[in-house]
Structure 1
């Protein structure tokens, strides 16, 4: 056997061997387009990058809503301060490819102007909902990271922590918090705090009463 024939015969024999094992013809094996490592990696990560059903689960929040806000910290004695002039505008951020919701809440709280900006999304890699807010009351970002979810919940429970600036007691304490988001019916955002050595308590609630548009 010449060297030229030997070089040709090796890949041909491999193709015939594969055909014998899998039932695929040698010609099919030879003519099958190669899949690059980059293509394979892109295919395997599509589910992690592209928005999907867990993002779509947040669609009921989209719109402009009238809402009522109950704040139990400012009220004291378990009686909340109630704001009836709250407007919530929630939109998918199109420049993120529909991966994140932006929420803007405006109105008054205890007679003073109130504003909150929130960003809500789902991490496909971590399989968890993530929620971050910035408002006109608290001088720090409030960041929440949920536990991995299974199925498609209609109520989201997303925990986090923040450093108390002195609203609840001595400044500098780490306060555990949790936002519970109800997606069905009238959407609602319930905020709970757990101060060191105390039981969890509801501190703020926003209930969407009706959609304006």
Structure 2
């Protein structure tokens, strides 16, 4: 009689520890970790088309003073994800000449998952101030990024504009040959193109 009781009790104890086969089959799966607002997402991955070392041509419509473009055909652009930001920000380094002088630009481009906007800041060898842009909130990924900003003119538009706030806008067109277009809107005037860069090809 004791032997008959021991076997059912042992079986019950095992089921209590492991659960029945039926219960295991119907139990909900364990929750999987999901990408939160701090993680890079599709808006970041859209910028992968910019990554690489590029030969580019730069057209500047402002430095000549008469609207005639100054063309630079020796521009090299190196763009890479900043590893220590876990793929949140791109760094761009541009080297070449502009109007017969050495030209350099450092840019940082990223997407704020909190504000849902692209943010772009550049430092170059022409202007003595950071050029900062903050885009509008976006609901979907787009191949054309229009990112507005403003800067205090050190005189690039002429002596009459020194110290004045100038609205500006960078338009980044993604694709096989990315383009960067910079526009200024001087007070009382229409927006005008002041800089145009075309990425021609990736290099080894």
Higher share in helix: 1
Measured against the shorter chain, the TM-score band is 0.7 to 0.9
Are residue 193 (structure 1) and residue 145 (structure 2) matched?
A: no
The number of residues matched between the two structures is: 174
Are residue 154 (structure 1) and residue 143 (structure 2) matched?
A: yes
Q: Distance in 1 between matches of 2:36 and 2:42?
A: 11
8 Å CA contact 1:129–1:158 kept in 2: the answer is: yes
Give the C-alpha shift of residue 151 in structure 1. Answer: 1.6
Alignment of 1:126-137 (within 5 A): 126-137=115-126
Aligned residue in 2 for 1:173: 164
Aligned residue in 2 for 1:206: 197
Deviations 1:81-113 (A, max 9, x none): 000000000000001101000000000000000
Aligned residue in 2 for 1:110: 99
TM-score if structure 2 supplies the norm length?
Answer: 0.81
Q: Distance in 2 between matches of 1:185 and 1:88?
A: 15
8 Å CA contact 1:47–1:124 kept in 2: the answer is: no
Are residue 139 (structure 1) and residue 128 (structure 2) matched?
A: yes
Give the C-alpha shift of residue 78 in structure 1. Answer: 2.9
Point out where structure 2 has 5 or more consecutive residues left out of the alignment. Answer: 1-26, 28-32
Aligned residue in 1 for 2:174: 183
Q: Distance in 2 between matches of 1:200 and 1:150?
A: 26
Q: Distance in 2 between matches of 1:151 and 1:129?
A: 12
Q: Distance in 1 between matches of 2:65 and 2:156?
A: 13
Give the C-alpha shift of residue 149 in structure 1. Answer: 1.1
Aligned residue in 1 for 2:37: 48
Q: Which ranges of 4 or more aligned residues in structure 1 deviate by more than 2 Å?
A: 75-78
Q: Distance in 2 between matches of 1:47 and 1:97?
A: 14
Between stretches 163-172 and 139-148, larger displacement belongs to 163-172
RMSD: 1.9
TM-score if structure 1 supplies the norm length?
Answer: 0.78
Deviations 1:48-86 (A, max 9, x none): 100011100000000000000000001343320000000
